[in-house]
């Protein structure tokens, strides 16, 4: 278990942005024998092959082919992006002719106060002129270079009474006293000429390393647990699964935190296109592909809200979830979560056979939940789906906490899902081999 925890923390540390998360995933997939496919080129697939494809360098879909054909697809999905602060194109601001600040905007729904008074850095993607070409360059400053300083309590006596924090005025990171320019430092670190950097997607990220802690090592805390913990689990499962009969596919999407509406998000044609191309490369007709989709199953994996130790009233006490009590199945009356009796029943059966604990989550009835990867992907690939996750605290904080034993449950449960021989034998009737 300690090895798995360290692998997760290493994956998180190497993934300060979705671009780095995709690169980290690709590195692990290559080490496990997966070959790259390109969307812009024809595909040739072999039985038993392992493949991956990227889009925008921030989303990845990996899949494997059985040795002897397949009936359907068994899909897992997670996301690589996390709430943070993004640099604006003209990213410098000044104060009093002394302080050099960064001008940023919020990406997603971050808990602003959690980003203050801690070491921060900058990472993302640069688009660089290379002769007559424009090429992407992954960038990570890799050092402590920023801080967002709190206003002291002497000047803000109501700080503990819930003072609103405004991104434009309260959350600008302090960068320099020397009058330096962040663009010039980024170029120097990247080994590029400032004039050759034509554009960039740069984000502020938390530099603090993750940790396993507690009297019995029962907690794990780190930046970006939501949703890199599920993303890591998806990767481990698709790499480690054995004796599968259907096509195991693992999707790592970008931009979930801002609605998934981009060409690399869950609400795009990325998954739909990949599955169609797998079928065409396998010589399937359009009718056979439609039949395969009808018998397919998806697990949409994104962490869930654990009952809070200081605010248990925010949870439905009869349907709350707890750290280290297993994979969370998410339900909602308005179907913003895709789980229903059918998908939950199948998933519970798979986990039960593998000895993996499962618990059920419902939102407090006065609190509406948001859309999920499964809900949005279902607009394009309509398959039986369940929303799952792991219980955690402080979701969207710069430092999140989960149960250390739950990671083992998720990897084991997802692997068992891929290895289960799922057969749709009639409307809502499934056989599990």
Res 91: pLDDT: 73
Class of domain 2-82+223-432: alpha beta
Could you give the CA distance from residue 399 to residue 207 in angstroms, rounded to a whole number?
A: 10
Among 186, 257, 375, residue whose Cα is nearest residue 18: 257
Distances (CA, A) of 248 to 133, 293, 384, 416: 37, 13, 15, 11
Average pLDDT over residues 408-413: 98
Q: For all residues of the chain together, what is the average pLDDT?
A: 94
411 has pLDDT over 90:
yes
Average pLDDT over residues 41-51: 96
Among 15, 47, 183, 201, residue whose Cα is nearest residue 124: 201
pLDDT tens readout for residues 271-296: 999 999 999 999 999 999 999 999 99
Could you give the CA distance from residue 420 to residue 396 in angstroms, rounded to a whole number?
A: 33
Percent of the chain residues past pLDDT 70, beyond the cut = 99
371 has pLDDT over 80:
no
370 has pLDDT over 70:
no
| Residue 126 DSSP SS3 | strand
Res 162: pLDDT: 79
pLDDT tens readout for residues 244-265: 999 999 999 999 999 999 999 9
pLDDT tens readout for residues 73-131: 999 999 999 999 999 988 788 887 889 999 999 999 999 999 999 999 999 999 999 99
Percent of the chain residues past pLDDT 90, beyond the cut = 84
343 has pLDDT over 70:
yes
For the chain, the structural domain boundaries read: 2-82+223-432, 84-206
Cis peptide before 227 (omega within 30 of 0): yes
320 has pLDDT over 80:
yes
pTM over 0.85: yes
What residues have CB less than 8 Å from 133, skipping those under 6 apart? none
Average pLDDT over residues 306-327: 93
Res 127: pLDDT: 97
377 has pLDDT over 90:
no
333 has pLDDT over 90:
no
Residue pair 366/353 in contact (Cβ under 8 Å)? The answer is no
Beta partners for 331? 362
Give the confidence band of 415 by pLDDT, cuts at 50, 70, 90.
Answer: very high
Which fold does the domain 84-206 belong to in CATH?
Aminopeptidase i, Domain 2 (2.30.250)
The DSSP result for 189-249, as a single string, is: HHT--GGGEEEEEEEEEE-PPPEEESTTS-EEEETTHHHHHHHHHHHHHHHH--S-SSEEE
Highest averaged pLDDT of the listed ranges 170-174, 229-233, 366-370, 382-386: 229-233
Give the confidence band of 178 by pLDDT, cuts at 50, 70, 90.
Answer: confident
Res 126: pLDDT: 97
| Residue 125 DSSP SS3 | strand
pLDDT tens readout for residues 208-245: 999 999 999 999 999 999 999 999 999 999 999 998 99
């Amino acid at each position: 278990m300690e090895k798995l925890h360290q692998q997760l923390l290493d994956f998180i540390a190497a993934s300060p942005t979705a671009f780095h998360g995709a690169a980290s995933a690709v590195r692990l997939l290559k080490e496990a024998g997966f070959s790259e496919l390109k969307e812009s080129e024809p595909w040739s697939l072999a039985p038993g092959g392992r493949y991956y494809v990227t889009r925008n360098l921030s989303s990845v879909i990996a899949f494997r082919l059985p040795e002897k054909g397949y009936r359907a697809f068994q899909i897992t999905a997670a996301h690589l992006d996390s709430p943070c602060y993004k640099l604006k194109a003209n990213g410098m601001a000044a104060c009093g002719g002394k302080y050099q600040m960064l001008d940023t905007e919020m990406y997603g729904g971050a808990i602003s106060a959690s980003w203050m008074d801690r070491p921060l850095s900058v990472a993302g993607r640069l688009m660089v002129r290379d002769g007559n070409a424009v090429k992407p360059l992954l960038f990570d400053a890799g050092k402590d270079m920023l801080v967002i300083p709190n206003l002291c309590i002497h000047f803000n006596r109501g700080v503990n009474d819930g003072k609103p924090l405004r991104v434009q005025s309260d959350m600008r990171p302090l960068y320099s006293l020397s009058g330096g320019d962040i663009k010039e430092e980024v170029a120097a670190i990247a080994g590029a000429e400032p004039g050759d950097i034509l554009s960039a997607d740069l984000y502020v990220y938390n530099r603090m390393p993750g940790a396993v802690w507690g009297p019995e090592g029962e907690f794990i805390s780190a930046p970006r647990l939501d949703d890199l913990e599920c993303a890591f689990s998806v990767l481990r499962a698709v790499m480690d699964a054995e004796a599968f009969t259907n096509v195991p596919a693992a999707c790592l999407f970008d931009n979930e935190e801002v609605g998934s509406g981009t060409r690399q998000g869950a609400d795009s044609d990325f998954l739909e296109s990949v599955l169609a191309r797998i079928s065409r490369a396998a010589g399937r007709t359009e009718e056979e592909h439609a039949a395969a989709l009808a018998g397919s199953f998806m697990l949409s994996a994104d962490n869930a809200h654990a009952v809070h130790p200081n605010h248990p009233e925010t949870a439905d006490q009869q349907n709350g979830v707890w750290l280290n009590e297993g994979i969370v199945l998410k339900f909602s009356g308005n179907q913003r979560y895709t789980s229903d009796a059918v998908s939950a029943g199948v998933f519970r059966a798979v986990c039960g056979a593998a000895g993996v604990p499962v618990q059920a989550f419902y939102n407090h009835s006065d609190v509406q939940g948001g859309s999920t990867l499964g809900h949005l992907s279902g607009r394009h690939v309509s398959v039986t789906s369940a929303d799952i996750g792991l219980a955690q605290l402080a979701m969207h904080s710069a430092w999140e906490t989960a149960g250390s034993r739950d990671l083992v449950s998720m990897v084991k449960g997802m692997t068992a899902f891929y290895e289960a021989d799922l057969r749709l034998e009639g409307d809502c009737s499934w056989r599990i081999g």
